Amino acid sequence: MATAKEIIESGKAVMGLELGSTRIKAVLIGEDKNPIASGSHEWENRYENGIWTYHLADIHEGVQKCFADLQKNVTQEFGAPIKKLAGIGISAMMHGYLPFDENGNLLAGFRTWRNTITKEAAQKLTEEFSFNIPQRWSIAHLYQSILNGELHVKDISFFTTLAGYIHWKLTGENVLGVGDASGMFPIDEVTKNYHKGMMEKFDALIAGEGYPWKLEDILPKVLLAGDKAGELTAEGAAFLDPDGNLEAGVPLCPPEGDAGTGMVATNSVAVRTGNVSAGTSFFAMVVLERSLKAVHEELDMVTTPSGDAVAMAHCNNGTTDLNGWVNLFGEFAKGCGKEMDPGELYGMLYNKALEGDPDCGGLLAYNYHAGEAITNIASGRPMFLRTPNAKFTLANFMRSHLYASLATLKIGCDILLKEENATVDKLYGHGGFFKTKGVGQRMLAAAMNAPVAVMETAGEGGPWGMAILADFMINGNGRDLGEYLEKEVFAGASGEVIEPTPADVRGFDKYIEVYKRTLPAQEAAGKLM
């Protein structure tokens, strides 16, 4: 097998680039599908005029700085920058709203998945379609803009997701992978395209507005994993690499959402597999063997990158509040003259949680920086509560915040696993929540009452998964994506598995009962504070 240097110099490396909530990361893989180089750029969303957003300038600069960091690392390691690539894949946070006119001008500020400002639209569309339309979905944002009487709607030429936008900048093609598209508008399980009947219902719903477009005209074209989705244009190459090293002509695979790349990164695209992505936001996905019996507002129906049906419980809030507490303890340690490495600090506090009571001893936390649709909380306020006779120990404190990160996810997944009796043989965890070995994994196993595996490759996350999808476009040769992953990428690897313990499961169930009863306090805090 060729060396990494030879692969880069010969233009056989494949790149995946993902725009996450707090980091944009690019990963380069070789013939063995393993990473050979990476680059990244840290960024943050903005909260402006009641909207969670990123400016286009932030997006452009972030992508370019991420690729520049990759080029710098490749040059330092291998002696020359990347000039050719065998394939590229772009992924990003799903959902949201990016409407453009016929000249490619953004008509309204980017509204990200984190917003909970489309309740009226989401409820009306859910009723109209008999299909759950969450607030963060692109169609909910479009319809809410119509209900609000926003003038830009008449000028829309197309609207897309963040991944779709970057792909369009690189190729000129307005397309999406089916997984990302399934977070814009419902997908028909048979045709693996937008649901025609629901599109007709939407057009009828807004017929009186007199817009010059039909919904089908402004949605991105849907493609499946393995399809070719255009080539890097000269303009696209100059956008991605302003230094001018990267050559045009590179094939791109369909752009995907972070949910799809998470499924690929954890080898969980087959029926009865599932994965939990745990970072700034948390979401769980289970590939279904049968359709759900009822419509649940707590569950999204999306797809794998190949178009198979997936039930997803999505939480706007993840580890942000937990990280804040860890940072506070770090500040205290520094004040005591013992500045701690972040990895050491997280490891110490996470492992301390394992010593806590299974039900957290009367301590309760809410990690709500933003609103949560699953629990019907419009505006979040992080909270920590305890009873007067609670066992107020560091172990219980940390365990309560680890539980809080998973609590809303558990509420959604309990509907799927207990009410709908969906079967999941194993859950795969990935994301920062699982970096401290065995801790987040054990908490998730307790929350879901299911075995949880964490693979070494899961640490590479979405950008690596996106690179694998680009490689599948090149080397899939018509095979099923699940078969390709099993035989070519993971080769039987199962990861390290932790089984749930009865005591932990009972403890988390007790915790969640109190959590749900106390939600009115969280709602009141959002209104009053």
Give the DSSP per-residue string, 29-60: E-TTS-EEEEEEEE---EEETTEEE--HHHHH
Residue 175 has pLDDT above 80, yes or no: yes
150, 288, 436 from 495: Cα distances, Å:
49, 22, 15
Q: What is the set of domains in the chain, with CATH numbers? A: 1-93+227-265+462-489 (3.30.420.40), 95-160+185-218 (3.30.420.40), 268-454+499-529 (3.30.420.40)
Measure the CA–CA gap between 422 and 309, rounded to whole angstroms. Answer: 12
pLDDT tens digits along 353-391 = 999 999 999 999 999 998 998 999 989 999 999 999 999
Instruction: Please tell me the least confidently modeled range out of 278-282, 476-480, 517-521.
Output: 278-282
Q: Read off the tokens for 509.
A: 């169930």
String of DSSP letters for 69-128: HHHHHHHHHHSS-----SEEEEEE----BEEE-TTS-B-S--B-TT----HHHHHHHHHH
Give 483's contacts (C-beta < 8 A, 6+ positions apart).
Answer: none
Is-contact 121 147, C-beta < 8 A? yes
Return the pLDDT at 494: 64
Q: Tell me the pTM.
A: 0.84
Q: What is the DSSP letter of 479?
A: -
Average pLDDT over residues 473-478: 94
Q: Where are the alpha helices (DSSP H) in 115-183?
A: 119-129, 138-147, 162-171, 178-181
Is-contact 15 89, C-beta < 8 A? yes
Q: Read off the tokens for 439.
A: 């801790």
User: Which residues does residue 309 pair with via DSSP β-bridges, in sequence order?
Assistant: 303
Average pLDDT over residues 165-186: 98
Return the pLDDT at 464: 94
At residue 383, the 3 state secondary structure works out as strand
Return the pLDDT at 165: 98
Return the pLDDT at 144: 98
Residue 460 has pLDDT above 70, yes or no: no
79, 136, 313, 439 from 132: Cα distances, Å:
52, 12, 12, 33
Instruction: Please tell me the least confidently modeled range out of 54-58, 158-162, 277-281, 405-409.
Output: 277-281
Return the pLDDT at 492: 67
Q: Report the sign of the C-alpha dihedral through residues 291, 296, 91, 319, in that order.
A: negative
Average pLDDT over residues 53-72: 98
